[in-house]
Structures are given as structure tokens and as C-alpha cells.
Amino acid sequence: MRLQDRLAELRKERGLTLREVRDLVQERTGERLSVSYLSELERTDTVPSVETLLRLCKAYGLTLNDLLTPVDFFGEVGEARYPRELRNLTEEQRIPDEWAETLSSIEFRGRRPKSQDEWLAIYSVLKAFMDPEG
């Protein structure tokens, strides 16, 4: 996942507008980020400063690690491309990489699954329909 996609995902998961994110940043950090800059971060490959990332973390109530874990840097695709709960599920259930890749792109009712149980439910349904012999 690219950083711009991660930032857009966080905002949309919370049902926030760019203006509301701007207001949260100011409220929680005392610093200002413009709506146009926040929009640029979600639309382009602009690389924000660490300070800007930390402001966004405070606005979203996340650690920097939580913000950046799903982000693939420099075109390198690693395990960070999958949410933590999906990685845990794939390890515990020995789910093949092809399935993990498919699952990682799933959104259900406008959001990504959050718990291992949600990932497992979606995996089970998809596997039953797409791979009835397996």
C-alpha cells in the first residue's frame, strides 16, 4: 500500500472530511496543516516530513508504527502490505500467499476488516465459492 492510499484509508475509515482532519490536527497538536496539503498527500506521491506524519498520528490517535506498517516503501513489497490481523491469520491458518493478496484488497461495507475473526469469515466464504474442492 502506498502512503497516499494509507492516509486516504485512515480518513475514510473514520468518516472524516479533509477539513475535519485539519481541525483534528490543530486541536490535538496546536499545529496547522492546510486542506490543500492534506489533499495533496492523499492524491500524489508527496513525501511528508516526519513532523507532519507525527501530527497526523496524533490526529488519528495512532503511533507512527501503526500509521506506517501497511505502507510499502521504495516499491518493496513486504509483509507490511497486509494488516496485522490478516498477517496473524495467514500465519496461524497457513493461508497461501495468493489468498492473502486477494484478502488484502477486500473492503466490506466501505471498510477493511479489523479483527482476525472478520478476516476469517471473509476468507471462509470466498474460499467456499471460489475453491469448493479445497
Q: Are residues 14 and 64 in the same domain?
A: yes
Asked, for residue 75, whether it belongs to a domain, the answer is: no
Of 68, 90, 108, which closes a domain?
A: 68
27 domain residue, yes or no: yes
Number of structural domains (the chain) is 2
What is the pTM (predicted TM-score) of this model?
Answer: 0.60
pLDDT of residue 32: 93
**Among the three residues 17, 42, 68, which one is the final residue of a domain in this structure?**
68
Q: Say how far apart CA 82 and CA 44 lie, in whole Å.
A: 22
Last-in-domain residue among 68, 91, 122 = 68
Give me the residues paired with residue 111 across strands.
108
Residue 18: half-sphere exposure toward Cβ, Cα within 13 Å: 12
Residue 58 resides in a domain: yes
Do the domain assignments include residue 76?
no
The 8-class DSSP code of residue 81 comes to: G
pLDDT tens digits, 101-129: 788 777 766 677 888 898 888 888 888 88
Mean pLDDT of 16-40: 96
Residue 120: Cβ within 10 Å count? 18
> How far is 24 from 130, CA to CA, in rounded Å?
43
Q: Would the pLDDT of 29 be above 80? A: yes
Query: Do residues 59 and 87 share a domain?
Result: no
Q: In whole angstroms, give the CA distance from residue 131 to residue 43.
A: 36
pLDDT, position 81: 62
Query: Which structural domain, as residue segments, surrounds residue 44?
Result: 3-68
**93 and 63, same domain (yes or no):** no
DSSP 105: T
Answer yes or no: do 63 and 89 share one domain.
no
CATH number at residue 37: 1.10.260.40
Residue 90 within a domain: yes
- pLDDT digits over 55-107, tens only? 999 999 988 888 887 787 665 555 556 777 888 888 898 988 888 878 877 77
Asked whether the predicted pLDDT for residue 51 surpasses 70, the reply is yes
Residues counted in the chain: 134
Any domain includes 57: yes
| Chain centre distance of CA 4 | 10
Q: Is residue 77 part of a domain?
A: no
Q: What is the pLDDT of residue 129?
A: 82
Q: How far is CA 52 from CA 7, 18, 25, 61, 97, in A?
A: 12, 15, 10, 14, 34
Asked if residue 8 is part of any domain, the answer here is yes
pLDDT at residue 45, rounded to an integer: 86
Q: Taking a C-beta distance cutoff of 8 angstroms, is the pair 32, 51 a contact?
A: no
